[in-house]
Structure formats: structure tokens, C-alpha cells
Chains A and B, each alone.
Chain A
Amino acid sequence: MPGRDDIDRLVEKVRTSHRNSEPLRICGSGSKFFLGRPIVGSVLDVKQHTGIVSYEPSELVLTARAGTTLREITKALTASGQILGFEPPWFGENATLGGTVACGLSGPRRPFSGSARDFVLGIKCITGKGELMSFGGQVIKNVAGYDVSRLMVGALGSLGVLTEISIRLLPRHELETTLMLELDEKSALDEMIRLSGLPIPISGLSYSSGLLRIRLSGTENGIASAAAQIGGQDDANGPEYWLQLKEQKLSFFNRNQILWRLSVPVTAPAMNLGNDCLIDWGGALRWVYTDKTDQEMFEFARQLRGHATVFRAESYYQGERFSQLSGVVADLHTRLKSSFDPAGILNSGIMYSNV
């Protein structure tokens, strides 16, 4: 397989940094640098560690080095009629698999086919001590040892430097279509809940600017009968809409203001923020612009039984980026972090001050 094995250099660099207690800032293509708290550290560049290590379409599994771009992976998958089931946002042409998994972000398909962590089967990583370890594997069912692979997803590199990832794939749907219904926010939320309970092949439910968009993915017959059941009108620009939603290229996202990500139960009420709110994930994800303070927003999300993230912020923003953890859970985070990275050199402080 083409690519470049840069593992020796990476391991050596982490070992040296561990010895010197020198903080590292793990770097793929840098497409998602805006996430998390600002951190300092010497750059550990993983993007040279590239290549698809194995890909057997009939196994529905792909293993690639962390620096492999999503572009390369998508190309290989498309040739075999398969997809990454969690529809990851790239946020940059050169987004890497490692960064994607470390950030743990999932696209519009997430409520219907699963999240980034749901699809991760195994990882290799370098711990903070500079030890290269392998967790999980390449098989769907695997209960040997703790599920460290999935623990790493969304840990923002603070537990280990991901160097290789095995990921489960899905067959590409035969056909995809998007329907539109004109509704107010509350009716749209109710409709999303209703549709989610039906055995029809939904792969996206989003609401913005007074339009509920319903994406269906499946067989030609399956989609036709579902579409007849739902009604509404075809959105010829459907594919473009979902791509721009996933990549935050819709005009909604084009604002110089803090972008809040509210992850809430689908039953969270309509926020009636008009064009300051965009709904994805069938109601479970609300992108919001607001003049409220960060503390007010974190509290607001907590009251909705969800949590909030300062997803994009201007450089002057000094506050926390993620909802705070309770005392016992925060302590567990500290101890887990220290078990993988005793010197605290890996992306330390990126999530919270203690991890």
C-alpha cells in the first residue's frame, strides 16, 4: 500500500518529550484546530504517517495510518461502493483520519447509523510514556480488554497519539433523496420525532429557515414508498445542502460570533431563535448564536438535560469550551489522563484544565 511509515520518529519524539516533560501539541492537517481550549506545546506532526494499511471491502473494515487523508480514504471507499457511516465533517481539504477520530465529530447521519466512536474497531496509539500500544482490533465483535479504542474517540489526543485506526464501514445506499416540508420550528421538531419512530430509511433530519429537510437513503423501492408516506416536495439541491451542513458552509455558519453546539434530547423544546438556530440530528443537535454569556449557555444546556460546547470562538474568548464535569467524574478524568499520560504532555488542557 502506498503511504509512509513515520512511526519510529513519532515514538522517539514522544519518548523524548516524556523524559523532558515537554508538552506536545498533536497536529494532523490542522483543520480542526479551532476545537477545544487553546494549548501550547511543540508540534507533533502526524500527517506524514500515512497510508491505507489494509482494506478488504468484504470485511467492511478499513485500517489506515492516522495521517491518511479522508480524501484518500473516501476515494478508496467510493471505488468499492462503501462509506464512512458517521459521515464525518472534514473542515478542510486535507483532514486526516487521526484528527477526525480524535475529535470524534459525526455528521447528519449520526442519529440513524451511529457516531464516530460507534464505528471505531481498534486503534494503535502512542501513550504519554512513548509506548506504542494496540487496542481493539479489526473485527466487529471484540470484548477482550477494556474498550480503550472507543475511549480515545473524542478525547482530542489527550490520552494518546493515534497512529493507526481500524474503522467499520457501511455499504453505500443505492439511492438518496431529500424531501422538504415547510413548517414552524415546533411542528418540525414534532415531525422529526414522529418520523424517527417509523421504520423508514431516514439518514438525515435537519431544520433551518422554516424548512424541514428529510434525507432518505436506501433501495429505490424503499425510498419511493417512504417518500409517498412522508409527502413534501423534492429538494433538488439536497446533496449540496447536506454537504454544506456537515462542513458548516451554509450561510448560517458564516458569522463572526461564537458558534454554540447544543447536544440535547430530541424532546428539548423549540428555542424560537429564528435564524440564530439551526437544527440537525433529528432535533438532538442545535447550532446556536446568542448574546447570552457562556455560563448562561452551559446552564441552559444543563437544564435541557444536555450539554453545550463553544464550537467556534474568536481568539479573544477566554472561557471554558465544554460543559463542566461533576466532581467525581472530573477526578476520574484526571486519573485516566494520568494513567495514559503521567507527565501530562499530550494536548494537555485541551478539554479541561485538568485533562
Chain B
Amino acid sequence: MDSQASNQSRNPELAKALRVIVGSDAVVTDEEALRPFECDGLTAYRELPLMVVLPSTIEEVQRVMRTCAQQSVPVVTRGAGTGLSGGALPLSDGVLLSLTRMNQILDINDSTHTARVQPGVRNLAISEAVQHLGLYYAPDPSSQIACSIGGNVAENSGGVHCLKYGLTVHNILQLKVVTVDGELITVGSEALDAPGYDLLALMTGSEGMLGIVVEVLVKLLPIPPVAQVVMAAFDEVERAGDAVAAIIGGGILPAGLEMMDNYAITAAEDFVHAGYPVDAAAILLCELDGTQDEVDSQIAKVEKILTEYGATDTQVATDEQTRQRFWSGRKAAFPAVGRISPDYYCIDGTIPRRELGTVLTAISSLSEEFGLRVANVFHAGDGNLHPLILYDANKEGELEKTEELGNRILELCVEVGGTVTGEHGVGVEKLRPMCLQFEDPVIEQFHAVKAAWDPHSLLNPGKAVPTLARCAEFGAMHVHQGNLPFSNLERF
């Protein structure tokens, strides 16, 4: 099929108009050149956009939006394309607005401890640029080398340190946003709050549905002088879970608190040789940071708690090299699992921590029921559970089976009072689980919120919030929070 020709002919007038705005090299319509934009980090979903437009300035974004709005052409905004829920999946009849050329750090302010950056700036690049001032940008999603701050805002990205330092929403002060009509607005402020409704919070995590983030004022924090990690092994997952509760209930706020089950431990150890005990049912990694004095007293407390709660082994990384080694296994957990299985499917549910034992037991039963292996990686501090379902996409029907298992796990997360997505976003991938979590009037309210910003639904249409019709299709398995009592869990 000659889709280049078809792409060109489908809306040559629009391409021409947009080239006038952004320059001819910044409008891509050639199929081969469009190909890299057909998906984001969720590669199971692919679509070629009508065209890709790469503006370099706020004014260009405004003019592109005015043109698209006038012609009722939908627009999908894309940052670095590392998202895991298909939020930046193109629309075949829409413009893909890539903000990668807006990649400048505009200002670093050593007095206000802020940096003003364009949306295409990479997350880690901010911390690198301010390191010499003893400052850093706290949210550290695992993709921080590649992901952009604009995408972080759209997804409200977290990271392993979010229990103590918060999510994107807690670490930004102000946004410049281009509306669907091409108007430029400022939300938030250079002060610590702003008059009117908290549109900064509403924009954060809105997945490109409400407006286009074109500038971000981020908050910078002093780099903690010391960070140390304790690793503890347990012969039962539940004990590790109880230890987590005891640490937090004991008044300690770790900078990071991660858990891996045996399957994930083995995969990671085989891959990067982090020195994990491969016979442990679970390990905990607990990072404490602050001044040396603070860290010393907290490490002592944590070690005591871990031992009390039955850790079979605890090790403190006393030097930076060991600390990095301990983390290397956790950070490599996903690719490590990728090595032992042709494909894996990552679930992103969040649960109240106290339900960990129940949920892991139920996942284990589901895993048997579906005949699919599941490795569990858990942000134990914040309750975000990432079961990785191992499957083979080349086997007939296995992807469908995997998705079904994924939905059952998310159903479980909702039943115990959690959520279907902790950090990856809804995108296109979790529209169906959204119906599990929210009742119809709430979904209608979400649509009303979008309509307040984007009345004709031109910004990333079809993502993030399911239509009620779609939820009705799934009606058979509708499980609203509370309607299915907790006691039903043993059916798994």
C-alpha cells in the first residue's frame, strides 16, 4: 500500500499550512519518517499519524493549534515517547505534535531553587544541569535518562523516591499551557500558590487531554549529603510486607523502599549479579537519606525492625559502589525478566500496603489458573505493584490471555481499595480497567472536565477516560469498589 501517497493526499492543505508555521523540515508526512512515531513505550499498539509536526517555539505551538482547531483536526502531543500506556499513540486522522525540539533549559535560579524548562528537556538533564549548585529535581521515573519533563507532567510521573519526595505534582510550581484554541495560559505561579482553582494539579496527570504543556517551572531540592541502602532477605513474602508496615509505622520515612519476589530476584541476579540472595522468598531494599547523623540513627532503627520482623539476612551498603550494586538489580528487574521470557506485560496497580500479602497470594493463584508466570516487583513504600506477566506473543491467543489476567489483577487491586494505575497512566491501555474503578457519573464528570477545556474533543481524543458505551460493553464484569466484598477473594 502506498500510504505515503495516501498520507500526503489525505490532507495536503493542512500540511502546507503547518509548514508555513513551523518550516518545511518540521512537518513529516513521509511514511518511512513517520514510522518511529507510530507508538510510544507501549509497542503493542501502533498507528501511523496523519503527520508529525515539530514546533520549536511556544508561538509555533499556538499557531499550529489554531490551524488544527479551525479545521477540526485532532492533535496528540508527544514528548520523548517513553510512556507505557499508549498515551501518545497517534491517531490516523490526527496530527502528532512532537515537542522534542523544545528542549532548552531556559533559566536556573539559585535563589528560588527553581528551573524553568521547555517540555522536551529530559528529566535527568535537569538534575545534571543543577548538580553544581548542590541541587536536583526529585522525581526520578525509571526512564529518567530518556523521558521528558512535559511527558512527566502529562503522566504525573513518580519514581522510587516518591514516598519521601513526592510525584511530579509536588515538584512543579508553574506551567505554561497552550489551549486547544491556541491561547497561552499560565497556571500555578512563581510563589507557592496561585489564585483561583488549582489548575496546576488538574493539568498534572491529565495525559494531554486538557492542554499542551509548553513550559515548566520545576522545584529543585538540596542534594541529600548521604544516602545509604539496607538490603534484607525474607523467607516469606508476608514477613517482608509486615516489615515494611513496621518501618513506616515506626516513624521512618525512607527515601526509597522496594520489594522483589523470588522470581524477580532470580531473574535480576542472573542478569546483573547484584549479590541478591537467590533463595530468598523476597528482598527489601530500604534507602535512607539526609545528613550523616540522621542516616546513621535511621539505619540503626531500620536494621533493628528488619531483624525483629524475621529478616534472614540484612546488609548495609556502606560505600557508594555497594549501594549502586544493590540498586542495579532492582533497576534491571524489567529487562532481566525480558531476558527469560519472549515478552512480558507490566501491570501498574496500586494497593494499600496492608493488602500486599492477600494480593500476592491471589496473584499466585491467578497465575496458576491462567498458566502464565508472574514476577512481582513492588514499590513497597507507596503501594505500587508491578506484576510482570511472562508470555509469548507468538503463541496463538496468549496476548489476549495475558490481558485478561492483567485485568483480573487490576480488578483485585480495585477491590482492596487501590487503583488501576499508579504511575503509567491510562492512555489507551487501561480504558477498560477504568470502568472497573469508576462509576458512570464519575466518568461523565471526567468528560465534563475535559469539555470545559476542550469542547470539541480535539486533544488526544479517546484516551484516558473511557466512553460510557465502552464501559457498558464491559458491563458483565463491572466491579465497583465496595460492591464486591473483600471476602469474595478466595474464589481466585
Contacts and interface: CB of A to CB of B under 8 A. Distances in A.
28 contacts: A58-B354, A82-B251, A133-B445, A139-B350, A143-B205, A145-B426, A145-B434, A146-B209, A146-B449, A147-B205, A148-B449, A154-B198, A155-B198, A171-B252, A199-B222, A219-B297, A263-B191, A265-B112, A322-B196, A323-B195, A325-B195, A325-B196, A326-B185, A328-B185, A329-B187, A351-B196, A352-B196, A355-B197
B297 A309 contact: no
Nearest to B210: A146
Nearest to B207: A143
A322 B195 CA distance: 7
A151 B193 contact: no
Contacts of A135: 442
Given A114-B170, A147-B202, A197 B135 contact: yes
B449 A221 contact: no
Contact of A150 (B183, B198, B448): B198
A284 B191 contact: yes
Interface string A198-229: 11110000000000000000111110111000
Interface stretch (A7-15, A89-97, A330-338): A330-338
Interface in B249-268: 249, 251-253
Given A58-B246, A284-B192, A151 B430 contact: no
Contacts of A56: 352, 354
B284 to A, nearest CB: 14
Interface in B445-482: 445-446, 448-453, 464-465, 481
B421 A143 contact: yes
Given A140-B167, A224-B293, A305-B191, 16 more contacts: A59-B245, A127-B445, A131-B441, A133-B439, A143-B424, A146-B209, A150-B202, A154-B198, A174-B251, A200-B291, A265-B191, A281-B192, A306-B191, A307-B193, A324-B195, A355-B196
Interface in A202-259: 218-222, 224-226
Interface in A47-63: 56-61
B190 interface: yes
Given A58-B354, A141-B158, A143-B155, A309 B195 contact: yes
Nearest to B436: A144
B201 A117 contact: yes
Contact of A146 (B166, B205, B246): B205
B227 to A, nearest CB: 11
B183 A147 contact: no
Contacts of A201: 290-291, 294
A322 to B, nearest CB: 5
Contact of A147 (B193, B204, B253): B204
Interface of B: 109-113, 133-135, 155-156, 158, 162-163, 166-167, 169-170, 179, 183, 185-187, 189-199, 201-202, 204-206, 209-210, 222-225, 244-246, 248-249, 251-253, 290-291, 293-294, 296-298, 350-354, 379, 382-384, 417-426, 430, 433-434, 437-439, 441-442, 445-446, 448-453, 464-465, 481
Contacts of A351: 196
A24 interface: no
A270 interface: no
- From B186, B196, B202, B246, name the one whose CB has the most chain A CB atoms within 10 angstroms: B196
A172 interface: yes
A143 B156 contact: yes
B163 A143 contact: no
A221 B297 CA distance: 8
B192 A333 contact: no
A31 interface: no
Contacts of A347: none
Given A199-B290, A222-B294, A60 B248 contact: yes
A225 B113 contact: no
Interface residues of A, number: 87
Contact of A144 (B111, B437, B449): B437
B175 to A, nearest CB: 12
Nearest to A172: B251
B189 A59 contact: no
B379 A141 contact: yes
Contact of A159 (B197, B209, B434, B450): B197
Among B206, B222, B417, B441, residue most surrounded by chain A Cβ atoms (within 10 Å) = B417
Contacts of A306: 189-191
A142 interface: yes
Contacts of B170: 114, 118
A305 B190 contact: yes
Given A57-B249, A143-B155, A221-B296, A155 B197 contact: yes
B292 to A, nearest CB: 8
Contact of A339 (B155, B223, B294, B451): B451
B449 A339 contact: yes
Contact of B111 (A104, A193, A333): A193
A172 B203 CA distance: 32
A141 B384 contact: yes
B246 A144 contact: no
Contacts of B446: 145-146, 148
Contacts of A115: 192-193
